[in-house]
Each structure stands twice: as C-alpha cells, then as structure tokens.
Amino acid sequence: MAVTEIHAIRTTLNKALDYIMNPKKTDNTLLVDGFGCSPETAALQFELVKRNNFKTGGKLGFHVIQSFSPGEVNYETAHRIGMELADKIFEGRFQYVCATHIDRGHVHNHIIANSVSFIDGKKFYDQKKTMYKIREFSDELCRENGLSVIAEPKEKGRSQYEHSLDKKGKSWKSLLRKNIDEAILKTQSWDEFLLYMQNLKYEIKQGKYISFRAEGQERFIRSKTLGTDYTEERLRERISGARTNPTVSLIIDIENCFKEKQRNPEAFRQWATVQNLKTMANTVNYLTERNMLSYSALSEKYTALKEKYNADRTRIKEVEQRLKVIAEDIKNIDNYRKHKPVADKLETVVFKEKFRREHESELIIFTAAEKYLKKRFDGEKAPLIKELRAEQKRLYAEKDRLYNSYNSAKSEIKELDMVMKNVDMILGKDKEKSVQKQRTNELE
C-alpha cells in the first residue's frame, strides 16, 4: 500500500533538493535519479527553463511524496515505482529528481519537479483533482507490482488521511458511517432514523445539506462528504428500501434483505426470486444482442478482451518509455548546441576564471549535456531534433489511440465479468467452481 501527497515549493528549492538527495537517506545517492536534468545541477537547470520561457515568478516546483507500508517493498522496486509514478504525473514534459529514502521504518519516494515544462514552456497546474489522479496512478503501479492498495470503491469523501485515522480508531467520518448504516438497518422511516441518530448522541443540522456532530467533535460533518451512498437523497432511498440501480447485478441489497426478513420471511423469498428472474432476463438480453449463444463463445470473448487489454497496456508502457527517452535526448541536444559557443569561447579568452564565474550555469549545463550525449550515443553523431520531434508527434498520437482502446477494453471486461458471474450463478457453475476449488485445496 502506498500513500501519496503533493505540495508546491514556493521558496528554497535548493534546500528541498539537497534534503531529498541526502546521501545518508538514499544509500549514498544510489537511489537518486533525474529526468531532463542532472540531479546535482537540477536547481540551475530548473531556473534556466523558467528564464528561457519568461516564467520566473510564482511556484518554483512541486514536491510529491509516495510512502509504502513497512516491509512491503524492497528499495530498488520502490525507486522504480517512484520513477514510473513521476513519468505518469509529469508526462515527460517536466524535469524532475526522484530520490528514495530508506532511513526510516518505511521506504518512501520524494519527487521534486520543475513548475515549467522544458518541452512547451507551459506551467504545471496543481488542481484539486491532481491529488486524486496521483493516487490513481500510484494505486495502478502498486497493483502491477503485487502491492496492496487502499480500497475505497464508493467513498470519494474519504481521504487517505481519513483511512489512516480509521485504522487507529480515530476517524469521526468512519464512526459516522458505521452509525448511519446501523440506524438505517434498524429504522423504517426518516423520522425514526433522525431519532435513532439523536439517541446515539449526535447533534443534527438540517438545511441544504444534512450534517451530524458527535459528542466531543468540533465541527459538523455533512453526510454527502462521506460518499455517494450518504447524500440525504440516497439515505432516504436506503431507509425506504427503494432500488435506483437498474443495471445487471447479482448483489441483493443487504439493507432491504435485512428489513424484509424482519417483516415477512416469505415475502423476502418471493422478492429474491423476482430479482433473480430480472437478472436472468438482463443476462439473456446481453448475450442475445452480442450473439454469444454458448458458454465457450462467452469465455473466448472474455479471453480475447483480456489479451487486447494486456497488449495495449504493454505497448502504452513501451511508447511512454520511448517518449521519455526522446524528451531527454531533445533537451540535451538543445542544451549542448545552445551553450557550445560559451564552452568554445572559454578556450580562447584570457581571463578564464572570470569568464567561468560569469557563465557558470551555462558551462555546468553544457558539461552535463555533453556527458549525456557521449554516453547515450556512444560517441556517434546525435539525431536531428526535427526527426526526434516528428517521432514524438507520431508516438503521442499512437498513445492517445492506445489509451482509448485500453479504456474501452477495460470497461468491456468489467461488464463481461459481471455477466459471466451472472451466468455462473444461473447455471449453478459458481457452486461447481467452489466445490472444485475446495477439493483442490484439500489435495494440496
């Protein structure tokens, strides 16, 4: 499991970079890497990009932190995940330094990125949704590497900080969810629900949004911030037992089941039968519309979609890696050509030390670019920037097409997976699979 956060750096960029690259924290800087810059000269290179694009004011950079659970990941894997996370966040457009700290009980990555793109000169805008996107990227990488993630399927109002408090038993929101769920199961009307919550020592404020405050709690909590199932409209629906989701599903509403069992067990059985008949009808319609009239056709379609999904994901990673290399090549070729006249002049001037002091930043950047190009192309001539940009343009177009295909396959797999579960339930295959799995475990 990895927890992430991001904040802007408005002052002391140098100190922030020095901190994350501390040799004592990064295995003597073995766990430090840069993109679009050399870690040792990153501050200078960040500043040069800002000056060249006339954007020296405002935020200096952005600091992303990714923390893993103790003992869940080794140092090298954590560092690789940190680099991949930075690539996803900054899309190969912004320079960054990634450092992995191993001096505490939990491994964690620090990523400091420039606020201005060295590709197009545009600024990185940290919006409210940025944190959620970073969280999604981090969770996706954790799943790919067999690490755990925080599961929050329907609770958008629940932050990672809230989750950590919940684990410690200190979350007001978590306790409120639990008490609301309990109240819904034990009440039959809105007024009964409010009275039940009051008996649990909650102060209730009704207005545009209903809010609750427990004893000892400083502020009211709007129920809608707890997640989509806790808006006032949804709470009323849950209490009344109304069903608002017409999509195919085998999950019987637990709250309605509980209440029906309390009222009339026979009525409950009849209701469950109707729901299963609806599920069968929806499943048959799905299969008929898509001409999947055999279980083997269904399985083949599912397998084909999974193969397409995995192929798209693999190619996306290849394209993103190549785009990263191209951006690095373009940046260094450009820096080399731009500052070579300064380096050449150093050989001819009389007062070399004075000239070196006056052009320190240009000379440092030129030296870093020269070193990169020699290593990258093994002393051979570097490609033309216009050729690299043409390839870059083609790859960005391919990446867009791949993501559309990838997301489409992902959505179809999710839908087909639900249909297959419905079919297994209807035909009793779910029980057969369960028995077979049990026998396999017994044999092992």
State the average pLDDT over residues 60-70.
91
Cα–Cα distance for residue pair 268/254, rounded to 1 Å: 12
Residue 441's pLDDT band, with cuts at 50, 70 and 90, is very low
pTM: 0.49
pLDDT of residue 172: 82
Pairing of strands 32-35, 96-101: antiparallel
Q: Which domains does the chain possess?
A: 2-144 (3.30.930.30), 167-262 (no CATH), 297-430 (1.10.287)
3-state secondary structure 269-310: HHHHHHHHHHHHHHHHHHHHHCCCCCHHHHHHHHHHHHHHHH
Those residues with Cβ within 8 angstroms of residue 69's Cβ, 6 or more apart along the chain or in another chain: 1, 2, 106, 148
389 within 8 A of 330, measured Cβ to Cβ:
yes
Element holding 417 (H helix, E strand): helix 385-427
Could you tell me if 102 and 25 are in contact, meaning their C-beta atoms sit under 8 angstroms apart? yes
Q: To the nearest whole number, what is the mean pLDDT of the chain?
A: 80
Band the pLDDT of 423: cuts 50, 70, 90: confident
Residue 265 confidence (pLDDT): 57
Question: Left (φ > 0), alpha (ψ -120 to 50) or beta: where does 264 sit?
Answer: beta
